[in-house]
Amino acid sequence: MNTIHPTTIPALNKELGEQVSGYINTLTKPPGSLGRLEELAIQLAEMKNNPFPKVSPAGVLVFAADHGIAAEGVSAFPQEVTEQMVMNFLNGGAAINVFSRQIGAALKVVDIGVAGEIEHEALIVDKVRNGTRNFFEEDAMTYDEAVEAIAVGRRQAEKLIEEGIESIILGEMGIANTTSSSALLAVLTGKPVKDLVGYGTGITNERLQHKIEIINQSIENRKADAADPIDILRKLGGLEIAGMTGAMLFAAERRVPIILDGFISTVAALIAVRMAPVCAEYMIVGHQSVEPGHLTAVEALEKKPLVNLGLRLGEGSGAAVAFSIIESACRMVSEMATFESAGISK
């Protein structure tokens, strides 16, 4: 049996945070006037153990996988779209390609569990299996498969971090993964499914009711142990979700700031945090997704999204758009003049 890699995530350097907070008050602006940018700058300094942290260049890791639960008619799109969108990522035409180029981020696409076989020189194939099983009928993954998918995430994050990225965005692509994420979140938080489920890629109201019923019945069928994040993940999860969880744990171990995207990414984050609570300290929620469960997941992490732009795409797109705000926080500390250096009276 595979075993989960033990995590050794360092605590934040709070003492340095205090010093950076003092320094920010010497910059040429009324104290506190840069609001959340000031909080971000302090949090990043504490994460990176550096008073002048950098988040550029960012790395974007997109994990793609299929879901057996798609067979229950829970998405507005057919399963093949997962594979087709992977080709679009590889050809540079998806939203995440555009936004990654805009922020100068390296983008890697990992096939961790797409149903079909995709061949492309730029695709990282690190596949655990060809999609999860239909969790309405059986466990989505075996214990070994879930642990392997987490290990894939760790391995791919390590490769990207070794290339010198200063922050990481985890994105995903997987038709039906809002169904999986809603089921995971319901068991993780104990909240009613109907309060968490949304339209995903754009289903009708009628289908939404069907999606809620499928999730409720699946939760009853699978009987996941609410106190065991791996049991929940393997029974109701997705391979790309497990991959993101593993990548987040690894990034936190290396003190690399993690920028969360939407609903699926934040549910993966909550699993990582249930496995290793200190991991939450390394996370920043980039944006608030339209998917209703997202806010529940964000609140469970005790976070606040940076922006709300009405996005519900996934791929890491919202995190990439929010990245510039985080970059501004870094530049504020490293580039602004102090009252003393600028000769301005306090």
Ligand X SMILES: O=C(O)c1ccc[n+]([C@@H]2O[C@H](COP(=O)([O-])O)[C@@H](O)[C@H]2O)c1
Ligand Y SMILES: Cc1cc2nc[nH]c2cc1C
Positions marked catalytic: 315
Q: Which partner from the list ligand Y, ligand X, none does 261 bind, CB cut-off 5 to 8 Å by kind?
A: ligand X
Q: How far is the CB of 311 from ligand X (least distance, A)?
A: 7
- From 16, 34, 85, 123, residue interacting with ligand Y (rule: CB under 6 A): 85
Q: How far is the CB of 26 from ligand X (least distance, A)?
A: 39
3-state secondary structure of 268: helix
| Rounded Cα distance, 103 and 213, in Å | 41
| Rounded Cα distance, 268 and 236, in Å | 12
Q: How far is the CB of 37 from ligand X (least distance, A)?
A: 24
Residue 41: alpha-carbon gap to chain centroid: 20
| Rounded Cα distance, 199 and 336, in Å | 44
- On whether the CB atoms of residues 102 and 57 are closer than 8 A, the answer is no
Q: How far is the CB of 164 from ligand X (least distance, A)?
A: 27
**By CB under 6 A, is residue 251 in contact with ligand Y?**
no
* Backbone φ and ψ of 36, nearest 5°: -65, -20
**By CB under 6 A, is residue 314 in contact with ligand Y?**
yes
* Backbone φ and ψ of 35, nearest 5°: 45, -125
Report the interface residues with ligand X, using CB under 6 A.
75-77, 172-179, 200-201, 261-264, 289, 291, 294, 312-315
* Cβ-Cβ contacts under 8 Å for 329 (sequence gap 6 or more): 37, 38, 40, 41, 44
| Rounded Cα distance, 85 and 326, in Å | 28
Question: What is the per-residue binding string for ligand Y in 133-172, x denoting contact by CB under 6 A?
Answer: ----------------------------------------
**By CB under 6 A, is residue 198 in contact with ligand Y?**
no
Question: What is the per-residue binding string for ligand Y in 199-238, x denoting contact by CB under 6 A?
Answer: --x-------------------------------------
Where along the sequence are the contacts to ligand Y (CB under 6 A)? Answer: 77, 81, 85, 173, 201, 313-315
